[in-house]
């Protein structure tokens, strides 16, 4: 795609009104070179800025100008005492993107202090900035700065530590797209990390989880071994128990009577234990009514209830009754509800309790009546009876236990061992089985609430371990995934950075060769050699005034090299002034050889050595325009107008190189002197005089040449 | 929340599960009765053991009597006179009774916890660590008679 500037129109903006048409006569194609001379104060810099704003769509900076000036005219607004002051102004840029023609229009409303933009595209007129999508990558500010060129920007490319050469290369070769890729990777990882919040990605935490899994697996193995051991032990104990029960069953006839007696006693023991449980339950049920404990407590209940009644708690009315009463116009006594009455009623209402508390207190009093006052049998006696019964039964059980113990000692099995010894063994076996069964019960238990922080040695359930292992493994997998992604992304970033640097180095090598070859053609007296391009362009040789030549060559060659498929117009504000007179001609020659469109905005002092070379080497593919203000000095051009003169309210414009070469600029010499001072900061009068003489001589030669033609 | 000290919970550990102490609140209730009868209250010091939020179902038929007992003991402990209607209303009934749930307010539960803790202190001073529930109940009833006589 090739971007070309076809012209622009400025109306009502600070400086002069102008309508620039760069197209060849009768054609829709602009000339390759555009050479526009604009008188000092004509709005050269403003035009340059507005062209840039049209291409980038950045009008916010233009609007900010209104705020900066605090009520005074902004830099884009004419003074109010100007004969041509206008409350609104427009700037229109005509551009083509390949075969498509666009017009970007900036509207200034100086009264409302607003700046708007419209776009006229092949598909129609639209409000706002709407460039073709394919051109957007080349229309961001950083890139446009490189082809709608500002002298300052070019200078920075050769300034030490400015970093501008590196930035320029990244932009022109679009190497900064690699940075965009890296940035996108970082954004992607950040999102992934947020998605799996709660999981882990850093190595330390992963190790922690891995250790937990190892410990849990060890505990799982330990429990599994214990289960095997315990199952075996249980079977052995059951077998032993059977043996012992058999042993108990095998008794001599003499022992049978003792054995029967023991069995009876054991049955009594069970009955007695059950009876004791019943008494305990009965006692506890009685205790749920606390007055059963003692007559003293029962009396305190009755006394408290009676006291509540005495105090009228709860009363016949609840607090709410009085709170509602004060809202009525009249009191219950039919007297008016005065403020004083209201206050007194509300104060007295505090003696009453609310409805809900009142209901509770009433129920409480009713309970005392029902459970305590109306109870027929002495309730405390009931508890005392139960207590006595319990004590008796406990005594009986003790006696029975002792009897059973003696009988067990006396009853002997066929084996010769007494029943109590065998029973001891049976009890041990039962205890062992109970412990094993408890272990198995815990081992098989379903763990619903899994505690992540539980110590593995405290976990008894295989299901809990399984669940925790599943949880930690899933965390670990996610953690590993994320960690692996992070590592991969880091590797990719390093790789992308390496590609970027390698590509840049290759481009630099080619660029240095191309630049040195071009510089050989331009500079013949004081040879310049580019040695390297780092943050800035490094070169050997050269003198003051040649630096900017290097910068131009750098930009032009970089564009040529990088954008073979894409071409951009190079528009430069005051291109010749900073170069210095000696190299102007050669730079102009170089520019005329460019395949890109080139437009320069010239000022006084820049025509010598520059315009002639540009014209002679480019004609007829060149447009040369001279724009001058409608002032007393230039009135002669309006009085005896050139046949090509186009008049604007505050300016005149003539198309043609001859007019430009012969044009009598009011401040030509003064402008040249100023430029020399900028190029040679340590200039002396001798040098200045020499250069001025050369300048005047050159101006005359060029004028004579044009006259002769 | 009804609470006992961790120490008290350890003291009664062997009783839990035996008849009639099947619920978490059962032995707590014995402590309450002891403290209320003795009209002694002591704030739990050290670690607390949470039991339940409200009276469980087996207590609900009689919970108003238990609350009544709390009000009586608190009135006596604080020395509120029988004639002081305002204090009985505000410092006892309105403070401790939540009529909407027919139970105790948070202050009421805290107050009952104080009596239960005092009850535990009294019993652990006078009795050996319990093992058998029947012997414990019998011994406790005897102790209650002594407390009553005081």
pLDDT of A449 reads: 66
The domain segmentation of chain B, as residue ranges, is 3-149
Task: Give the β-pairing of A88-97 and A3-11.
Answer: antiparallel
Contacts with A277 from chain B: Cβ below 8 Å: 19-20
pLDDT of A354 reads: 72
Nearest to A280 among B75, B93, B134 (CB): B134
Phi-psi region of A590 (alpha: psi -120 to 50; beta: other; left: phi over 0): alpha
Question: The sheet that has A3-11: what strands, in order across it?
Answer: A18-21, A3-11, A88-97, A100-109, A114-121, A124-127
Buried b (16+ CB within 10 A) or exposed e, A309-335: eebebbeeebbeebeebbeeeeeeeee
Q: Are residues B67 and A394, on separate chains, in Cβ contact within 8 Å? A: no
pLDDT of B109 reads: 93
Task: Please indicate if any CB of chain B lies within 8 Å of the CB of A559.
Answer: no
Dihedral angle computed from the Cα positions of residues A412, A418, A423 and A428, in that order, rounded to the nearest 10 degrees: -140
Q: Are residues A364 and B69, on separate chains, in Cβ contact within 8 Å? A: no
Phi-psi region of A527 (alpha: psi -120 to 50; beta: other; left: phi over 0): beta
pTM exceeds 0.90 for this model? no
Q: What's the CA gap between A146 and A168, in Å, rounded? A: 8
pLDDT of A366 reads: 87
Of A537, A500, A530, the residue nearest A512 (C-alpha): A530
* Minimal CA separation from B46 to chain A, in Å: 24
- Give the residue from chain B lying closest to A351, CA to CA: B86
Nearest to A276 among B29, B134, B141 (CB): B134
Contacts with B100 from chain A: Cβ below 8 Å: 356
* Minimal CA separation from A271 to chain B, in Å: 15
pLDDT of A50 reads: 95
pLDDT of A40 reads: 82
Q: Are residues B72 and A284, on separate chains, in Cβ contact within 8 Å? A: no
Contacts with A393 from chain B: Cβ below 8 Å: 134
pLDDT of B99 reads: 82
Q: Are residues B37 and A293, on separate chains, in Cβ contact within 8 Å? A: yes
| CATH number, position A580 | 3.40.50
Between residues 280 and 319 of chain A, which touch chain B (CB distance below 8 Å)?
A: 280-281, 283-285, 287-291, 293-294, 296-297, 300-301, 304, 307-308, 310-313
pLDDT of A154 reads: 67
Quote ipTM for the complex: 0.93
* Minimal CA separation from A390 to chain B, in Å: 7
Task: Please indicate if any CB of chain B lies within 8 Å of the CB of A364.
Answer: yes
Residue A609 lies in a domain: yes
Whether the per-residue pLDDT at B23 is higher than 80: the answer is: yes
Residue A650 lies in a domain: yes
Q: Are residues B69 and A283, on separate chains, in Cβ contact within 8 Å? A: no
Task: Please indicate if any CB of chain B lies within 8 Å of the CB of A394.
Answer: yes
Residue A545 lies in a domain: yes
- Give the residue from chain A lying closest to B137, CA to CA: A280
- Give the residue from chain A lying closest to B83, CA to CA: A311
Domain that holds residue A8: 3-162+536-708
Lowest mean pLDDT among A564-573, B51-60, B114-123: A564-573
Q: Are residues A290 and B36, on separate chains, in Cβ contact within 8 Å? A: yes
Instruction: Indicate the number of domains in chain A.
Output: 1
Q: What's the CA gap between A66 and A529, in Å, rounded? A: 47
Question: How high is the mean pLDDT in each 10-residue block of chain A (709 residues)?
Answer: 93 92 92 92 90 94 81 82 88 94 94 92 92 87 82 65 76 85 88 65 72 88 91 92 84 75 90 94 92 88 87 67 67 71 70 75 86 76 91 94 86 78 90 93 77 81 87 76 83 90 90 88 76 81 64 81 78 81 80 84 90 91 94 92 92 94 88 79 78 88 85
* Minimal CA separation from A298 to chain B, in Å: 10
pLDDT of A105 reads: 96
Q: What's the CA gap between A666 and A663, in Å, rounded? A: 9
Q: Are residues A277 and B144, on separate chains, in Cβ contact within 8 Å? A: no
Q: Are residues B33 and A293, on separate chains, in Cβ contact within 8 Å? A: yes
Q: Are residues B133 and A383, on separate chains, in Cβ contact within 8 Å? A: no
* Minimal CA separation from B120 to chain A, in Å: 17
């Amino acid at each position: 795609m090739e971007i070309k500037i076809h012209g622009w129109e400025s109306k009502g903006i600070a400086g002069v009104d102008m309508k620039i048409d760069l197209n060849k006569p009768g054609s829709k194609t602009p000339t390759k070179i555009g050479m526009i001379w604009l008188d000092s104060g004509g709005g050269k810099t403003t035009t340059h800025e507005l062209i840039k704003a049209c291409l980038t769509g950045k009008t916010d900076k233009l609007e900010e100008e209104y705020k900066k000036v605090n009520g005074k005219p902004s830099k884009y607004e004419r003074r109010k005492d100007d004969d041509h002051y206008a409350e609104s102004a427009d700037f229109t840029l005509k551009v083509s993107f390949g075969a498509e023609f666009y017009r970007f229009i900036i509207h200034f409303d100086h009264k409302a202090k607003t700046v708007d933009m419209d776009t006229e595209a092949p598909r129609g007129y639209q409000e706002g900035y709407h460039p073709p999508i394919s051109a957007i990558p080349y229309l961001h500010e950083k890139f446009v700065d490189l082809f709608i060129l500002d002298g300052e920007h070019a200078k920075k490319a050769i300034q030490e530590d400015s970093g501008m050469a590196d930035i320029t290369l990244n932009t022109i070769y679009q190497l900064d797209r690699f940075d965009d890729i890296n940035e996108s990777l970082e954004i992607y990882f950040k999102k992934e990390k947020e998605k799996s919040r709660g999981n882990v990605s850093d190595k330390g935490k992963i190790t922690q989880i891995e250790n937990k899994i190892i410990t849990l697996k060890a505990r799982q193995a330990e429990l599994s071994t214990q289960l095997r051991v315990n199952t075996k032990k249980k079977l052995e104990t059951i077998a032993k128990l059977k043996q012992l029960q058999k042993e108990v069953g095998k008794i001599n006839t003499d022992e049978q009577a003792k054995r029967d007696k023991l069995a009876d006693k054991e049955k009594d023991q069970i009955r007695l234990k059950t009876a004791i449980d019943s008494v305990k339950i009965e006692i506890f049920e009685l205790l749920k009514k606390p007055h059963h404990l003692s007559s003293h407590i029962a009396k305190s209940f009755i006394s408290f209830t009676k006291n509540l009644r005495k105090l009228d708690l709860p009363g016949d009315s609840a607090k709410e009754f009085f709170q509602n009463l004060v809202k009525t116009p009249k009191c219950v006594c039919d007297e008016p509800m005065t403020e004083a009455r209201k206050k007194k009623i509300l104060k007295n209402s505090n003696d009453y309790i609310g409805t809900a508390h009142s209901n509770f207190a009433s129920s409480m009093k009713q309970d005392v009546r029902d459970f305590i006052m109306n109870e027929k049998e002495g309730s405390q006696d009931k508890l005392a009876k139960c207590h006595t019964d319990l004590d008796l039964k406990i005594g009986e059980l003790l006696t029975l236990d002792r009897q059973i113990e003696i009988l067990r000692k006396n009853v002997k099995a066929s084996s010769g061992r007494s029943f109590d010894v065998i029973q001891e063994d049976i009890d041990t076996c039962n205890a062992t089985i109970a412990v094993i069964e408890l272990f198995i019960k815990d081992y098989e238990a379903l763990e619903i609430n899994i505690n992540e922080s539980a110590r593995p040695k405290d976990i008894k359930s295989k299901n809990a371990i399984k669940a925790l292992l599943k949880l930690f493994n899933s965390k670990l997998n996610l953690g590993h995934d994320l960690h692996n992604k992070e590592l991969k992304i880091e590797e990719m970033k390093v790789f992308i950075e390496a590609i970027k640097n390698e590509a840049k180095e290759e481009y630099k090598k080619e660029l240095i060769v191309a630049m040195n070859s071009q510089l050989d053609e331009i500079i013949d007296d004081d040879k310049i050699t580019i040695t390297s391009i780092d943050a800035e362009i490094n070169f050997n040789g050269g003198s003051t005034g040649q630096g900017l030549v290097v910068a131009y060559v750098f930009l032009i060659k970089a564009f040529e090299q990088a954008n073979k498929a894409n071409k951009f117009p190079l528009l430069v504000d005051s291109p010749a002034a900073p170069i210095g007179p000696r190299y102007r001609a050669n730079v102009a020659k170089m520019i005329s050889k460019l395949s890109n469109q080139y437009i320069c905005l010239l000022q006084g002092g820049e025509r010598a050595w520059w315009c002639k070379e540009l014209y002679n080497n480019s004609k007829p593919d060149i447009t040369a325009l001279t724009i001058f203000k409608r002032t007393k000095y230039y009135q002669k051009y309006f009085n005896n107008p050139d046949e090509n003169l186009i008049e604007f309210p505050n300016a005149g414009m003539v198309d043609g190189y001859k007019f430009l070469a012969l044009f009598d600029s009011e401040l030509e010499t003064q402008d040249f002197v100023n430029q020399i001072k900028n190029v040679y900061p340590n200039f002396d009068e001798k040098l200045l005089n020499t250069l001025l003489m050369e300048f005047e001589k050159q101006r005359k030669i060029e004028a004579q040449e044009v006259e002769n033609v | 929340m009804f609470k006992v000290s961790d120490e008290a919970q350890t003291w009664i550990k062997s009783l839990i599960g035996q008849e009639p102490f099947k619920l978490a609140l059962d032995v707590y209730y014995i402590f309450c009765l002891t403290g209320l009868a003795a009209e002694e209250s002591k704030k739990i010091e050290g670690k607390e053991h949470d039991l339940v939020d409200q009276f469980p179902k087996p207590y609900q038929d009689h919970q108003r009597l238990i609350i009544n007992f709390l009000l009586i003991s608190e009135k006596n402990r604080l020395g509120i006179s029988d004639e002081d209607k305002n204090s009985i209303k505000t410092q006892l009934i309105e403070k401790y009774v939540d009529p909407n749930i027919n139970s105790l307010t948070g202050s009421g539960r805290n107050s009952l916890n104080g009596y239960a803790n005092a009850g535990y202190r009294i019993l652990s001073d006078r009795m050996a660590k319990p093992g058998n529930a029947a012997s414990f109940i019998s011994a406790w009833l005897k102790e209650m008679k002594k407390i009553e006589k005081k």
